[in-house]
Amino acid sequence: MSTVLLFVEPDDELSLQALTLAQRLGDVRAVSIEGAYQPSAWAAALSAEPADAIVAAGSDRGNELLAHVAARLDQPFAANVTAIDGEVVTRIRWGGSLLEEARLRGAPKVLTVAPHTQPAAAAIATETLAVPDDGSPRVLETVSEAAGGVSLRDAKVVVSGGRGVGSSESFDIIEELAGLLGGAVGCSRVVTSAGWRPHTDQVGQTGTKISADLYVACGISGATQHIAGAKGAKKILAINTDPEAPIFASADYAVIGDLHEVVPAISAELRKVRGS
């Protein structure tokens, strides 16, 4: 029976799913590594262990780490594998739209297991591999994407401004309303093109697709590419001076008026209701 080295992360469902597939390959030796993530050093440690196959979950970390391992061992690497039969592996490509059958002839075989394609196995004993710091790049600190604020993708409320806002300074009123609602600030493509806001704030098909409960679109005409990013919102409130603006076709609530008056009025009302 062959030996399978499985890299697991603590308390990780995906690692247990990977274990299910790994157990089909042979005797599994599960290892984990403690300390700051250091891809090159971790990969060196895994590469040094004797094994017929090296397996990890097809997470961002698992895929990165085993890519390093494969490069070190100069072996082919199959990522996001769903099934394996001898040397034939089935793997997911194209963001899940394509299943590819490939032959994996490496020794050891290096592969990751596609998430949510296997049931999770019962956890087995895991040994901790000691990895000395070899001076290669390592993760020093992890900072969440929108430091201090609410991330656009996950925000429950998004208040967005478009061309109608007029300038980067005028985003004050948008920021104020977003703050009062505990939401994030978004914007349309025109605004990032004009340099009023960073691209990370852009809602749209080429920016962030949001999933808020409420989307407030201020002075946004509603190009299809913008709507494509906003359609995940449960309710859309549009404020625009132009009654013909395409945004109204997608909006649940419409205010035809100047955002420079309407938005501060909403903020004032919110303060009043909250008594602050």
Partner 1 sequence: MLAVVAGGLFARRALFLTRLVRRGKPNAQPADVPLRVRNEVEIVLGQRKLLQRLVPGLMHAFIFWGFIVLFPTIVLAAIDVAGGHVTPWEWYRILTDVFACLVLAGVVTAFFIRKVLRPARFEGSHLGEADLILTLIALVVITLLLWHHVGGVGFAWAHLVVIAAFLAYLPHSKHLHIATAAVNVWLARTRRRGRLEPLRFDVPDDQMRFGAATIFDLTRKEVLDGFSCTECGRCQDACPAYATGKILSPKLLIMGIRDQVFAQSDAPIVGNGVPEQSIWDCVTCGACVEACPVSIEHIDHIVDLRRSRVMVDSAFPKEAEPMLRDVERAANPWGKPQTERAAWAESLGVRVLEPGDPAPEYLYWVGCAASFDERAKKSAESTAKLLQRAGVDFAILGPREACTGDPARRMGNEYVFQAYAEQNVSTLNEQGVTKIVASCPHCLNTLANEYGDFGGSYEVLHHTELLAELVDDGRLQPAAGTQSITYHDSCYLARHNDVRVQPRKLLNVIGQPVEMKRSGKKTFCCGAGGAHMWMEETGTQINIERANEAAATGAETLAVACPFCTVMLDDGVRETGAELRVADVSTLLAESLE
Check residue 167 for interaction with partner 1 (CB under 8 A). no
Check residue 76 for interaction with partner 1 (CB under 8 A). no
Binding span for partner 1 by CB under 8 A among 57-65, 88-96, 106-114, 118-126: 88-96
Nearer to partner 1, 183 or 207 (CB): 207
Q: Rounded distance, CA 16 to CA 28, Å?
A: 12
Q: For partner 1, which residue of 190, 191, 212, 230 counts as binding (CB under 8 A)?
A: 190
Start-to-end C-alpha separation, the chain: 71
Q: Rounded distance, CA 46 to CA 61, Å?
A: 14
Residues 243-272 that bind partner 1 (CB under 8 A): 246, 249
Check residue 139 for interaction with partner 1 (CB under 8 A). no
Check residue 93 for interaction with partner 1 (CB under 8 A). yes
Q: For partner 1, which residue of 185, 207, 233, 236 counts as binding (CB under 8 A)?
A: 207
Check residue 97 for interaction with partner 1 (CB under 8 A). yes
User: What own/partner pairs with CB < 8 Å and gap ≥ 24 does 59-63 have?
Assistant: 59/9, 59/12, 59/14, 59/112, 59/115, 61/9, 61/37, 62/7, 62/9, 62/14, 62/18, 62/112, 63/112
Nearer to partner 1, 189 or 267 (CB): 189
Binding span for partner 1 by CB under 8 A among 14-22, 115-123, 179-187, 200-208: 200-208
Q: Rounded distance, CA 157 to CA 269, Å?
A: 17
For partner 1, the binding residues (CB under 8 A) are 93-95, 97-98, 163, 189-190, 193, 199, 205-207, 209, 221-225, 227-228, 231, 246, 249
